[in-house]
Amino acid sequence: MANLLDGKALAQKIRIQLQQEIQSLQAQAGRPPGLGVLMVGENPASSVYVRNKERACEQVGIASFGKHFPTNITQAELTEVIHSLNQNSEVDGILLQLPLPPHLNAIPLLYEISPDKDVDGLHPVNMGRLVRGEAGLRSCTPAGVMQLLREYEIEVTGKDVVVVGASILVGKPMALMLLEAESTVSITHIKTKDLAKLTCEAEILVVAAGYPKLITASHVKPGAVVVDVGINRLTDYEGRKRIVGDVDFEGVEPLVDYISPVPGGVGPMTVAMLLQNTLWSYKQRVGKNLE
Ligand SMILES: Nc1nc(=O)c2c([nH]1)NC[C@@H]1CN(c3ccc(C(=O)N[C@@H](CCC(=O)O)C(=O)O)cc3)C=[N+]21
C-alpha cells in the first residue's frame, strides 16, 4: 500500500499558519492582505477553483477583490479592470483565471498585471526570475507540489524526475523548480515518442497532462513517488459528476511508495500557495511601514 500525499491536510495546516501570521501583521500594517481574482464566463472547473479560493481567503483573513464578468466583456474593459487593481493600494495579488473565452487573448492581459502583484507567477518577469533562480512570485500549482514533497521528506536532489506535460501554468514552471532543487528533470509532452519508456525511469513522476488515466501501472517504476496534478471532470454512467486525475489510481497505487489522490492532493495545495503568495506580496508592500 502506498502512502498518500495528503494535500488537503497540509493545505489546512498551512492555512492555520497563514491565518495567525496575517492576524499579527494586520494589526501593525493597518489593513489585511487583498486578492483580486478575475473570472470571465462560466467554466465549471474555474468556478470550483474560484469558490474554494474565496472560502480560503475568508478563513485566513485575506480581503477578496474578486470580480466575475459576463462572457461578453471586451479585452479593453478587462485591461482597464487590471489597471485599476494595479493602482489599488489595498490589493496585493491579482489572478486572471484561465482559460478565457475564445474572443479574449490571455497573453497580453497577463503582461498587464503588475509583476509585483502577479500571485500566479505567470508574468514574463516572474517566469524569468524562476529561470534565473531569483526570488519572486512562483506559480502556485508547482510550488504546491514542491511543498508537498518537502512535507513528506521526499528527497528531490539528484533524483530522476519526469514531468508529464509542458504547459505554462504547470509543466514548465514545475520542471524549473525541480531543476532549482537539483533533480535531473525530463519533460514529456504530446509529441513524446515513447511515454512509458521515460516514465518507467522516474523515481518521482509528476503528471500534469489533462488526460484521465493517461498514466497506468505499466507507466511507473515500482517504489516511485507519483504526483497527480490532473483535474478532470467526468460524469459516470449513473450521471454523477466526479473529478479524477491523470493517473489510474487503483492500478498505480499498489506499485508505488507515495501517490497524491484526486481530489485531496495537489488541488488544495494550489489554493494554499495562492494565499501564501498573496501574503508574500503583502509583506513586500507593507514591510517598509513596519520597520
Ligand atoms: N490563472 C489560473 N491559475 C490557476 O491556478 C488555475 C487557473 N487559472 N485555471 C484553472 C486551474 C485549475 N485550478 C484548480 C485549483 C484547485 C482546485 C481544487 O481545489 N481542487 C480540490 C477540489 C476539487 C473539487 O471538489 O472539484 C481537490 O483537488 O481536492 C481545482 C482546480 C487552478 N487553476
Q: How high is the ipTM of this complex? A: 0.95
Partner residues linked to 13 by β-bridges: none
- The verdict on the CB of residue 106 being under 6 Å from ligand 1 is no
Task: Find out whether 198 and 178 touch, Cβ atoms under 8 Å.
Answer: no
- The pLDDT value recorded for residue 109 is 97
Q: Of 228, 195, 199, nearest to 212 (Cα)?
A: 228
Please identify, by atom number, the ligand 1 atom nearest to the C-alpha of residue 268: 19
Hey, which of 6, 38, 51, 52 would you mutate to test ligand 1's pocket, going by the most ligand atoms within 8 Å of its Cβ?
52
Q: Where are the domains of the chain?
A: 30-114, 140-266
- The pLDDT value recorded for residue 8 is 98
Give the pLDDT means over successive 10-residue stretches in the chain (291 positions).
Answer: 97 98 94 97 84 94 94 97 98 96 96 98 97 96 98 98 97 98 98 98 98 98 98 90 96 98 97 98 84 57
CA angle at 41 for the pair 39 and 44, rounded to the nearest 5°: 85
Q: For the residues of 61-116, what is the DSSP string, one character each?
A: TPEE--EEE-TT--HHHHHHHHHHHHH-TT--EEEE-SSPPTTS-HHHHHHHS-GG
CATH class of 140-266: alpha beta
Task: Name the architecture of domain 30-114.
Answer: 3-Layer(aba) Sandwich (3.40)
CA 110 – CA 169 distance, rounded (Å): 12
The residue assigned the cell 496585493 is 92
Residues 6+ apart with CB under 8 A from 274: 35, 53, 56, 93, 95, 119, 120, 140
Rg over CA atoms, the chain: 19
End-to-end CA distance of the chain: 51
- The pLDDT value recorded for residue 291 is 57
- The pLDDT value recorded for residue 290 is 63
User: Is 118 noted as a catalytic residue in this protein?
Assistant: no
Kind of pairing, strands 63-64 and 160-164?
A: unpaired
- The pLDDT value recorded for residue 30 is 94
Closest residue CA from atom 13 of ligand 1: 49
- The pLDDT value recorded for residue 287 is 83
**CA 259 centroid distance within chain:** 18
